[in-house]
Structure 1
Amino acid sequence: MKIVIAGGGRVGGTLAARLVAERHQVTVVEKDPAICNRLFEDIGVVTVCGDANDPRSLESAGISGADIAAGVLARDAENLAFSTLVRSMSRARVMVRMLDSRYRAAYRLAGVSELVEEAEVVVAKMTTAIDFPQVAGSLPLAAGDAILFELEVKPKALVSGRTVAQVRAQPEFPRECVFIGLLDPEGRITLPDGSTVLRAGHTIILVARRAELARSVECLTQEPQRQEDTPLAEMLRKVDFLAPLSAEELATVARGADYLRKEPGEAIFKKGDAGETFYVVVSGQVNLVADGGRVVEVVKPGGFFGEIALLTGEPRSTSAAAATPCELAAVGREDFRGVVMANPAMALEMSRILGQRLAKVAQQDNAPQKRRGLFGR
């Protein structure tokens, strides 16, 4: 499209650069020769050095054949005069930046089709950022009645691993909150449908009524509840090598755990991976798989796995994958060491327990295997 911009300041220059990058035909009308030269040299945009409220300058900019005329001058009075002049010279669609809302009616009488109220946009963005620090970015729509916003999916969020349809089916999720985009960590955007999975680290783009924004953000960021007397701490109490830890220390380890959701068949780790984490199964089941796809153990709720590689530093000896939809609590090496290494006597006792376990595992590995069939297959 052919676009004439009145004003080459910060907003006008930024707008011109974006439109030129999108291959529109852009001309900027600006009084200051230095700004005209800078715009031409920096972004290659055509400039007319003159007053945007002078018919001769607009004629030089080709206003008669323009599709859009955008007024971003420093004062509303100047933008209003520009709008009126454009309507008398061209059939271009007129849009302006409005600084003072008292000019709204005058702009409408001048035939301005698009009003961008700068103060409204800034205030709406700042109040959204203050009220909802989880929101990565926002833009008011429909005079602020609706909000376009971005939200990163956190690893501990309950929606992580769920589909858009599953999230929208929750009774507490606002009906008028709509998913319109999903941005992956590499910057690729997709248009989601009901089967799209919300994965940790991805950014969701949504539109919601402002009145429903709080409920939308709460549903999308909610995490499993944590308490001092957490069920995870009770599960950790059953782990043999954690037996020397006190109730307070177990609670500290539990609070540092990350909650993960896995779908059936989804890998948790592979044989040979570094052992940086051990896992407790909160719900569902996990298969530990040896070479050839043989399931060597099924870990059920309250069970744990991955602890030997964590404690010894050796690579994973098996692979692990979700057998059913499951929820896991993942305890990392650093969180674990922070508690254990604070008490040398406790670390020594845990080393003794670990040594007994490793000896037992080695004994099982060296036990004679029962032959099956004539050739022991």
Structure 2
Amino acid sequence: MRIVIAGAGSVGRSIARELLGNGHQVLLVDKDPAAIRVAGVPDAQWLLADACEIASLAEAGLADCDVVVAASGDDKVNLVVSLLAKTEYGVPRTVARVNNPKNEWMFDEAWGVDVAVSTPRLMTALVEEAVSVGDLVRIFTFQQSQANMVELTLPADAPIAGTRVGDIDWPADTVLVCIIRAERPIAPSRDDTLEAHDELMFVATPESEDALQKLLSPTHV
């Protein structure tokens, strides 16, 4: 994929390194000359420009871009970049960094944001995931669909422990997307059996979360 990252600070550069390592083509854009540290990410393309300007985005080639990542430290900039990427260039996927949790409500499809990533919320979710067994933990929200990525570690006394995935009557609008067992991810099939202490990852609507919690761990409701 071709990916443009607006914001070449430590966050933007870290994202670029990961994406380049996965074989993607990456362009980093920043208007601050001090942020253009080509030696730090030598395999990326670089552009000294203001990503909030249409002319800069045209120069960045957003018309041929698969994903735009708005990763600056300014929420206003990230919203403007996401909106322009969607409305002016029809970029298929936008991911925006939320710096201030108080601004998170704005990072939705109205501003062209497909996925909003709030570091404080992610850290909170990871802390809860680390200490909670049997409690449904919301990891993040897909802004365009309003579905959530949620996780639950199956307790030893869960009624569905030992049950095949295909035999479980899952709540509506709920999809089991991954089982993590002994630190290894498993793509679930109908024939896989759930085991105590499995970490289960779901995509689910907010309305289905209560039913999912009751099914997986009724004693924690």
Q: Same fold (TM over 0.5)?
A: yes
Q: Does 1:7 align with 2:7?
A: yes
Q: In structure 1, what is the equivalent of residue 158 of structure 2?
A: 157
Q: Does 1:45 align with 2:41?
A: no
TM-score by length of 1: 0.44
Q: 1:30, CA displacement in angstroms?
A: 1.8
**Separation of aligned partners in 1, 2:55 and 2:172:** 53
Q: 1:8, CA displacement in angstroms?
A: 1.8
**Separation of aligned partners in 2, 1:145 and 1:61:** 30
The runs of 5 or more residues in structure 2 that have no matched partner are none
Distance 1:85 1:40, change over 3 A: farther
Q: In structure 1, what is the equivalent of residue 195 of structure 2?
A: 199
Q: 1:3, CA displacement in angstroms?
A: 1.8
SS in 2 for 1:198: coil
Q: 1:26, CA displacement in angstroms?
A: 0.4
Q: In structure 2, what is the equivalent of residue 215 of structure 1?
A: 211
Amino acid at match of 1:122: R
Distance 1:208 1:28, change over 3 A: same
The runs of 5 or more residues in structure 1 that have no matched partner are 224-377
Q: Deviations over 1:25-52 (max 9, x none)?
A: 1010123445432x74257433223432
TM-score by length of 2: 0.67
SS in 2 for 1:18: helix
**Separation of aligned partners in 2, 1:181 and 1:222:** 21
SS in 2 for 1:156: coil
Q: 1:76, CA displacement in angstroms?
A: 4.7
Q: Deviations over 1:168-219 (max 9, x none)?
A: 2xxxx634433232222141322221x3211234322223332332332233
Q: In structure 2, what is the equivalent of residue 349 of structure 1?
A: none
Q: In structure 2, what is the equivalent of residue 30 of structure 1?
A: 30
Amino acid at match of 2:175: V
Q: Deviations over 1:275-310 (max 9, x none)?
A: xxxxxxxxxxxxxxxxxxxxxxxxxxxxxxxxxxxx
Q: Does 1:184 align with 2:181?
A: yes
Q: Identical aligned pairs, as a percentage?
A: 24
Distance 1:56 1:215, change over 3 A: closer
Distance 1:48 1:222, change over 3 A: same
Distance 1:40 1:185, change over 3 A: farther
Amino acid at match of 1:153: L
Q: In structure 2, what is the equivalent of residue 97 of structure 1?
A: 96
Please, what is the CA RMSD of the aligned residues?
4.1
Picking from 137, 161, 171, the partner of 1:174 is 171
State the structure with bigger RCO (CA 8 A, min sep 6), 1 or 2: 2
Determine which structure has more spread, i.e. the larger CA radius of gyration. Answer: 1
Q: In structure 2, what is the equivalent of residue 351 of structure 1?
A: none
Amino acid at match of 2:177: I
Q: 1:24, CA displacement in angstroms?
A: 1.2
Q: 1:81, CA displacement in angstroms?
A: 5.1
Amino acid at match of 2:161: S
Distance 1:11 1:144, change over 3 A: farther
Q: In structure 1, what is the equivalent of residue 121 of structure 2?
A: 122
Asked if the contact 2:5/2:70 (under 8 Å) is kept, the reply is yes
Asked if the contact 1:182/1:192 (under 8 Å) is kept, the reply is no
**Separation of aligned partners in 2, 1:148 and 1:103:** 17
1:321-360 correspondence runs (5 A) = none
Q: In structure 2, what is the equivalent of residue 75 of structure 1?
A: 74
Q: Does 1:146 align with 2:143?
A: no
